[in-house]
Amino acid sequence: MTNMGVLLVARFDITGEISDIEKAITLQNEALDLIPDDNIEKIAALWNIGNSYQSRYERTDIMNDLEVSINLHEKVLSATEQDDQSYSRRAGNLGISMMRRFERNYDFSDIDRAVKLQEKSVASLPDGHPLRAACLINLGNALQCRYENSFDTPDIDEAIRVQRQALSLLQESDPDRPLCLTNLGNSLMQRFDQNANMSDINLAI
């Protein structure tokens, strides 16, 4: 059941066929029921199911899927030590989900939590780690999102700082570089709108 669930998720990622992700979730939940609570594989299974609910939410916009995904990922993160190699990815993924929920309900506790989780995601990685740039991009997105709803200057300043840091880690050929440049340009324009500093708009251009 577990392997079939993985294959269905992979096919859903390619085709977007909703029946695949729905069947995957059913199979993953059935497999989860067969795993003892004290089995180390339980955490990985919870993580995978949470990802599947999150994927279905991104496709259908059904709020309950996002809530289930958050609840499952909260359980996984609480069982993950900060020095675990999976901690950064798990914290960052949960942070993205919290930001998505904020975009629906505008509860500032969600975006505050999203920022904290992305900060933890970055902090848990050593300098030079290949995922550091991606985690910095996620942190910049969360800070930018909070700024757009609060207009708190320190948030846009910090967003620009981490976006520049992320950019410095990316090679010219990196597929994440165009997105990072776009995000940084948007942040500079937003700060220009607030303070009318010409250096910001010049850099954005």
pLDDT of residue 204: 67
Please state, for a pLDDT cut of 90, what percent of the chain lies above it.
80
pLDDT of residue 192: 84
Q: Which residues contact 64 (CB under 8 A, 6 or more apart)?
A: none
pLDDT of residue 194: 83
Q: What confidence tier does 1 reach under pLDDT thresholds 50, 70, 90?
A: low
Q: Which residue has the tokens 């939940």?
A: 29
CB contact at 8 A, 121 and 101: no
Amino acid at 50: G
pTM: 0.90
Answer with the residue of higher pLDDT: 5 or 66.
66
Q: Which residues contact 135 (CB under 8 A, 6 or more apart)?
A: 88, 92, 118, 121, 122, 125
pLDDT of residue 193: 83
pLDDT tens readout for residues 46-85: 999 999 999 999 999 999 999 999 999 999 999 999 999 9
How does the average pLDDT of the chain come out, rounded? 92
pLDDT of residue 95: 97
pLDDT tens readout for residues 142-164: 999 999 999 999 999 999 999 99
Q: What burial class does residue 40 get, using C-beta atoms within 10 Å of its C-beta: 0-12 exposed, 13-18 middle, 19+ buried?
A: exposed
Q: Which residues contact 115 (CB under 8 A, 6 or more apart)?
A: 95, 139, 142, 143, 146
pLDDT tens readout for residues 177-192: 999 999 998 999 998 8
Give the three-state DSSP class for 126: coil
CB contact at 8 A, 19 and 13: no
pLDDT tens readout for residues 103-136: 999 999 999 999 999 999 999 999 899 999 999 9
